[in-house]
Each structure stands twice: as C-alpha cells, then as structure tokens.
Amino acid sequence: MMPRRASQKNAAVAPIHTDMKKRILLLGSTGSIGRNALSVIDALGESWQVVALAAGSNAKDLAEQANRLDVEAVAIADEGAAADLHDALTGSPTPTKCFTGTDALVDLVNGVDFDIIISAVVGTGGLGATIRAVELGKHVALANKESLVIAGSVLMGLAQETGAKIIPVDSEHSAIFQAMQAGNREDVEKIYLTASGGPFRTWSPEAMAEITVQEALRHPTWDMGPKITIDSATMMNKALEIVEARWLFDIDPDRIEVVVHPESIVHSLVEFRDGSVIAQLGTPDMRTPIQYALTYPDRIACPSPRLDLYAAGTLTFEKPDLDRFPALRLGHQVAEKGGTCGAVFNAANEVAVEMFRADALSFGDIARFSEKILTEHNFIAQPTLEQLLEADAWARQEVAKCTAC
C-alpha cells in the first residue's frame, strides 16, 4: 500500500507508514484496550505483528495470548504471578523471553526490537515503560492517559527531543487529533471535549449520596475496564482528559470546554478561528481510535460497526453540572496550575477509586478527598520526574489516611 501524504501544515506528528511489517509491543494486553487492540491487529493482517505483551498479574490470560501469538517476550509486574507465567508459556519454537517484577515493563521495552508500542496499562503502572519508549523515540499509541496527567510536561518535552510520536488512543483525543488536521494549529480557538455524562447524569444529589459500586460500574455507552468506568461515573475521567488534552495539544486549559453528549457518537470537536467546528463521529467502539493510532495517516477497513445516522436519530448536548460532578472543576484547576498537581490528583483518585471499590469510601468521597489532597500538597511548579513520583507516593499515603478524615 502506498502511504498517503500527511498534511504538512498542521500534522502533530509525522506519519507512520504502513508499507512495511510493523512490530508491535502491547502493554496491558489482558485489559479492555489490550484485547481490543489484539482484535484490531488480527484484522489488519500479516503486515502487523505483535512481538511482545505485558500485563499486571493475570498470568493465565497473558500466557494464553503469548502462546497463541508466538511472541518473542512477555512481562508481568506481579512477582507472585511469575512462576505461573513461566509454567504456562510453551515458547515454541523459540523460548519466550520473560521479564517479571516492578521493572518488568521497562525491561521489556529495553529488551525487544519494536516499531510501535501500545501503552494500555491502567494507572501509574504504565508510566515508566511509556517514558522509556518516548526516550527511545518510538511511535507510542497512548491509551494510558494517567502517564500524561502525571508527567505531561516531561513526556511531551522528551518527545520533542527524541522525535517520539505520541498518538492518542483515547476516543476524544483521537477525535481532536483527527479534527485538527482540518486546519492550522495556530488557528484552533477551542476544543469541545465530549462526555457521555456516565450513569448518574440525571440523578439527584440525594440519590447520588447512595451510589453503590455496582451502579457505578454500569456505564451506559462504553464497555471498559473497571477503573475508567468508575472514573466516568464521577466524571474524573473527563477531568483527567482535560489535563491529557492540555499536554497532548499544548492548548491553554481555558480553551477546553467539556460538553455532555449522552449518545457518545460525536467523539469531540475543534473550533477554528473562522468559526468552523470540525467533529469526528462514529459508534462508541474503541477499535476505531486504536486502529487509527496504529495506521495514521492511513485509513484501513476496521471491524467496528458503522455509524447509522438514522438509527442514531437525535444527538443532544448539555452543559455539565459542576455541583454534582465537582471533578470537572478540579480537572480545569489541575490543567491550569500544572506542576505537581497532575501527579497528586491522579494518585489521589487512583487510591480513592480502589477504596470505593472496597467499600471503604463513598462515591462522593472520591472527588472530595482528591480535592483535599490537592489543596494540601506541597506544590512544585516545575518538578523533575523524581519529584513527580514523590508527589504521587505522598498523595497515595494521604488518601489512605482519609477514611479517618
């Protein structure tokens, strides 16, 4: 296939050409994005090869994937799962290289020859390997938004130095990335980040005080992993996405507006200086943005269902309610203030979500405690990576103490 020419005037990154065999390293292969990525790569055909996989602790599924795809190497973060992984790997005809422990994902990135990395670990666990891939100047299909929230300034600065291409997988950011190709970057006036509103969009404050874990895990339009599903219910996900957009597109946070769009058909919009608003639409299916992050700027037939405009019918847009969803206000504050705020906010939310899932916190406490930790933290305006990691560790300890607050 002949690679198509990318728009020279505004392309955020250079194109990935699809005329050679692409070697892919997939982090988070046992998760929702990871499994969707495998189905996309399978449908893309023989020019696309998964060469390495990584997961957190699910040795059984990781080994099954590794054996089926005959990958060269695997990594698992949980030391306790290493023996099960070793036992289950058949490694035929050559033994599968196996990395385990806290540095396993970074070791995998260092130890495998690859062209594209899909960073689809959930949470802070994805940061080290993502940074390493950016240091190596690789093409990074980035689903792990937490990396950008924690260390956006570091990652984007590094990408500029090394020429690494960070291409968003997150559906809204993929939409913005695509819409931006309709004009010059300096003519972008505003980004409209769409949000489904989650399962509690229409709930009263009284009803929201009683939200259970099961209710929060029931997303109306997207089928995703548990952490991001809870984040969508609190709208923390949109708060994290404001920060993600701020770094990815180097845009002033006050030019980012969240708009609630319950149908999840319009994935986001970009408004240009002349008043033209360019949107990307599609069914709510992550395989489309995952594939685009791999094949950009080419567009290849994708397994996700096509959008039926007549079936979709009416598309609606609402202003978000900042009283019922205070996370959105926090997201803007974090994006505006920068520094250590992203690391603290993300870590506080991660721990609070785990505690909510364990019935140790209420739904409303997630945003409440994240705000408290954010306010109390020792702000550093231009932190090093080490200081960001220290801020992350501090925030985790502080939220864990919050049950007693």
The SS3 call for residue 257 is: strand
| Counts for the chain of helices (H) and strands (E), in that order | 17, 11
The set of residues, in sequence order, having a beta carbon less than 8 Å from that of 193 and lying 6+ positions away, is 172, 176, 238, 241, 242, 245, 256, 257, 258, 259, 268
What residue type is assigned to position 310 of the chain? Y
Determine the Cα–Cα distance for residues 366 and 163; give it in Å rounded to an integer: 37
Binding site for ligand NDP (CB under 6 A): 28-34, 54-58, 77, 105, 120-123, 125, 143-146, 170, 222, 224-228, 286
Tallying the residues shown for the chain, one arrives at: 405
Determine the Cα–Cα distance for residues 86 and 217; give it in Å rounded to an integer: 33
Instruction: Say which entry of ligand NDP, Mg ion, none residue 122 contacts (CB below 5 to 8 A, set by partner kind).
Output: ligand NDP
Answer for the pair 247, 153: CB distance below 8 angstroms, yes or no.
yes
Q: In this complex, which beta carbon is closest to Mg ion, that of residue 174 or of residue 333?
A: 174
Q: In this complex, which beta carbon is closest to Mg ion, that of residue 72 or of residue 241?
A: 241
Instruction: Say which entry of Mg ion, ligand NDP, none residue 370 contacts (CB below 5 to 8 A, set by partner kind).
Output: none
Chain centre to alpha carbon of residue 118: 10
User: Regarding beta strands 266-272 and 277-281, do their DSSP bridges make them parallel or antiparallel, or are they unpaired?
Assistant: antiparallel
Instruction: Say which entry of Mg ion, ligand NDP, none residue 120 contacts (CB below 5 to 8 A, set by partner kind).
Output: ligand NDP
Q: In this complex, which beta carbon is closest to ligand NDP, that of residue 172 or of residue 365?
A: 172
Residue whose entry in the numeric block shows the structure tokens 């692409």: 22
Q: In this complex, which beta carbon is closest to ligand NDP, that of residue 228 or of residue 256?
A: 228
Minimum CB separation from ligand NDP for residue 230, in Å?
Answer: 11
Q: In this complex, which beta carbon is closest to ligand NDP, that of residue 106 or of residue 361?
A: 106
The backbone torsions φ and ψ at residue 243, rounded to the nearest 5 degrees and listed phi first, read: -65, -40
Minimum CB separation from Mg ion for residue 274, in Å?
Answer: 28
Instruction: Say which entry of ligand NDP, Mg ion, none residue 172 contacts (CB below 5 to 8 A, set by partner kind).
Output: Mg ion
Minimum CB separation from ligand NDP for residue 171, in Å?
Answer: 6
Instruction: Say which entry of ligand NDP, Mg ion, none residue 28 contacts (CB below 5 to 8 A, set by partner kind).
Output: ligand NDP
Minimum CB separation from Mg ion for residue 284, in Å?
Answer: 10
Answer for the pair 60, 74: CB distance below 8 angstroms, yes or no.
no
Minimum CB separation from ligand NDP for residue 8, in Å?
Answer: 29
Cβ-proximal residue to ligand NDP, closest one: 31
Q: In this complex, which beta carbon is closest to ligand NDP, that of residue 125 or of residue 183?
A: 125
Minimum CB separation from ligand NDP for residue 170, in Å?
Answer: 4
Task: Tell me which residue of 295, 323, 358 sits closest to 141, measured CA to CA.
Answer: 295
